[in-house]
A and B are shown apart, each in its own frame.
Chain A
Amino acid sequence: MTRDITLGQYFPGSSPIHRLDPRAKLLLTIAFIVYIFVANNFWSLGFLTVVTFCLMAVSGVPVKMYFKSMKGILFIVLFTSVLNLFYGSGPVLVQIGFMQITANGIQNAIFIAVRIVSLILFSSILTFTTSPTELTDAMERLMSPLKSLHVKVHEIAMMMTIALRFVPTLLEETDKIMAAQKARGADMESGGLMQRIKSLIPVLIPLFVSSFRRAYELAMAMECRCYHGGEGRTKMKVLHMVALDYIALLFGAAVLAVVILLNIFLPTVI
């Protein structure tokens, strides 16, 4: 179950996307997520989807991995699009009890599904091509103006780094504890929803206890390595915006322009 989660996975490489400054990548991703919601007809959304596919190809990450990242959210995609199927107006195509499916509803369902899928695919490009440290480093730098408001920017970034580092470790441990409890006769696959939630308690408690022990040991190891907060700390990889990064940002702006033009000049769907 936990093996399908690709969160925080990074595929080292040397594609132009890998080489981009993580700050530029982060900003572009946020911008694209906004664009996907700005796009209000099939033309503009289709254009964004095509751009996403092109970027996926450029990233050089195996397509298989992108599909894997979809697996986890397939249910959400299906659920929302089925829900939308029944919320359309116009001539009724199929009548099931009090629910009705309209042509407009079908259009909506497809539209929403494409929207969510491209959303996930685009954010996957970011996490697949950017190491977690780079990502949190970018966040730290982008949020640094908040320091004057006494926001603990370095601490937040360090917490993110550690959280991402321990995602696979804790998933592996969850699998192990589940196997251990099953070996002792725990039943986790049958019963109603409440029953199943209850059966997770013997998994979560040992996981919690061991997480605290890990936290204590990690804190000690960090202290041993002279960690004393963000002050006086340097970085091995210093971030520099180069020509490529500015070109990428210009590209982002150009995509926005195309989306707006397509929105205005072609028929609206939603």
Chain B
Amino acid sequence: MEFIKAEDVHFTYDEPNEEHPDAPVHEVLKGIDLSIGRGEFVALLGHNGSGKSTMAKMFNSMLTPTSGKVLVDGMDTADESKTYDIRRQVGMVQQNPDNQLVASIVEEDVAFGPENLGIEPKEIRRRVDEALKAVDMYEYRTHAPYKLSGGQKQRVAIAGILAMETACIVLDEPTAMLDPRGRAEVMDTIRMLNHDKGITIILITHYMDEAVQAGRVIVMDSGRILTQGTPEEVFSQVDLLKTHKLDVPQATELAFRLSNAGCKFPRCVLTIDECVDALVPMLSGKGDSA
């Protein structure tokens, strides 16, 4: 079922030039068409300046297209009377965990969203407890955010959106400022939300190893969609990605180089485990594969 639909989205941060209406404008998005279904886990990939963060802000009406249309559950994001209805459906988590927590106590911060929606106090309490348990931060509910680690803060931020019970969460590089451990915590949480709670996830990232965990990968490059498909489909196009200065996961890179050198891999490998599974028989039964 279709949940979010973008139709020929163009966007520029430049103001319209009154004196020279024909002056060239720098378009950040140059005609994006995509659709995201309910319950999907989509990774939006691209390097800096590819327009992926701008695109993320389109999904919950933080930005509206200069031309074209973004529909969320049938509502046009350009329709101002629908802005809050859209944000009830699509929550957003940003890069810096410090700058998105409002209150000085974890549970009070998580309550901020539901409080804005005008929900009954008892129901807010239930949602806050449930959200904190879901991200495994319940025991920290009375702590001050500044005493938590980056990964913990980011999980509190996710709980804040979860308590609003949105159908979809957009995460704009949520792991960019975290250490490897915090990154693993946040990725585990994201996967769990998608898998167990059926929440639609749009993960904006430039870490290939994170994108591999998604159900679908959309690669953006200078304001356009370069390619999309399952992680296998996308990362098997190693040449295409390389010409656009994008990396592939390390395991894929290894397999790619080995197959260029003559080793035959049965299929595209994405993770270290898959790579090991493919390599072990090759190395042990050397005689029959070469």
Contacts and interface: CB of A to CB of B under 8 A. Distances in A.
Interface of A: 8-10, 12, 131-133, 161-162, 164-165, 168-169, 172, 213-214, 217-218, 220-228, 232-238
Given A217-B96, A224-B87, A131 B62 contact: no
Given A220-B62, A221-B94, A226-B84, A233 B115 contact: yes
B107 to A, nearest CB: 8
B258 to A, nearest CB: 43
Contact of A234 (B60, B120, B145, B161): B120
A101 B37 CA distance: 83
Contacts of A223: 62, 87
A61 to B, nearest CB: 14
Scoring A9, A165, A220 by chain B CB atoms within 10 A of each residue's CB, the highest score goes to A165
A12 B146 contact: no
A155 to B, nearest CB: 14
Nearest to A223: B62
Contacts of A234: 114-115, 118-121, 124
B200 to A, nearest CB: 16
A228 B118 CA distance: 11
B217 interface: no
B124 A214 contact: no
9 contacts: A12-B142, A133-B104, A162-B102, A168-B144, A214-B98, A217-B99, A224-B91, A225-B112, A237-B108
A213 B94 CA distance: 13
B103 A233 contact: no
A131 B164 CA distance: 23
B100 A218 contact: yes
A267 to B, nearest CB: 46
A225 B131 CA distance: 15
A224 B92 contact: yes
Contact of B164 (A165, A168, A225, A238): A225
Contacts of A236: 107-108, 111, 114-115, 121, 124-125, 128
Interface string B196-231: 000000000000000000000000000000000000
Interface residues of B, number: 42
Contacts of A214: 98-99
Contacts of A235: 115, 121, 124
A131 B104 contact: yes
A94 to B, nearest CB: 49
A238 B121 contact: yes
B99 A221 contact: yes
Given A133-B108, A168-B144, A226-B113, A217 B100 contact: yes
B111 A226 contact: no
A169 B98 contact: yes
Contact of A225 (B121, B143, B145, B160): B160
A131 B105 contact: yes
Contact of B104 (A161, A217, A238): A161
Given A217-B99, A224-B94, A233-B118, 18 more contacts: A8-B104, A10-B105, A10-B144, A12-B143, A133-B104, A161-B104, A162-B102, A169-B146, A221-B99, A224-B87, A225-B112, A225-B113, A225-B116, A225-B160, A228-B84, A232-B118, A236-B114, A237-B108
A67 to B, nearest CB: 20
B164 to A, nearest CB: 7
Contacts of B142: 12
B99 A132 contact: no
Nearest to A227: B116
B88 interface: yes
A233 B104 contact: no
Interface in B58-100: 60, 62, 84, 87-88, 91-92, 94, 96, 98-100
